[in-house]
Amino acid sequence: MRASWFLASTLATLVAAKASSTTISYLGVSITGSYAADFAQFTSLAADVYAIDKTATTYDIRCEDGAPISVCAIDSKTPWRMIQGPETYSISIKDSISTEGVSADVTANVACSFTHTSESVSCSQYVSFTISASEYSTAWSTNAPSYTIDADQVSYVDLKVTGGLQAFSADATATSPVTVSSSDAAQPIATAAPLMAAAAAAIAALL
């Protein structure tokens, strides 16, 4: 794990009010196993600060303006929502596919916790499916295998933040979140190829 992560985040906080963008680092974890989805697979990402309080900062992650779909395919209307703090990290994505009158929605979530930057990270995973057609609809979910990342294997990914920078100069000790964005990303959507494959497989099983 990079020991400089929290130092870099602190420095970013100090300069954000005077900058048009700043860079943070987020925990580079993925959904593993049969429903593998690499959250860091896209390379042209940018974020807006959605809210901040004493425990964590919430970001809406989207593609950079003009980024081709080959490097970033997040739906601009529904960005990812990532929550990250000194002891917590979570992110979720949702994928959809439709063929021959049958549609499938797949949602994957990962949530991690840790007590110190030098310790291992424990992550839990959840995957849900909803299959619908003109005559029926069914849904099921599964807790994908949880896992622990050893401290020397934990990595962080840089992310440019361009919106809501004023939140970094707000009172981060506030109990209630300081909300700085009006976007609604309650159901983050991304086009992640592994989840799309899972949705396609679910449909194929019913056709």
CB atoms near residue 66 (< 10 Å): 6
Give me the half-sphere count of Cα atoms (radius 13 Å) on the Cβ side of residue 173.
0
Residue 14 makes CB contacts below 8 A (sequence gap 6+) with none
Cα angle for residues 95, 97, 103 (degrees, 5° grid)? 115
Q: Are the beta carbons of 52 and 64 closer than 8 angstroms? A: no
Q: What is the pTM of this model?
A: 0.67
For residues 112, 116, 120, 124, the Cα torsion angle rounded to the nearest 10 degrees is: -10
Walk along the chain (207 residues) and give the pLDDT tens digit of each residue. 443 444 345 445 545 446 688 898 888 776 555 444 455 566 788 999 998 888 889 998 888 888 887 888 777 777 788 898 888 888 877 766 677 777 777 777 888 888 765 678 888 888 777 777 767 777 777 777 778 888 888 878 888 999 888 887 765 555 555 555 544 443 333 334 444 455 555 545 545
For the chain, the domains span 5-204
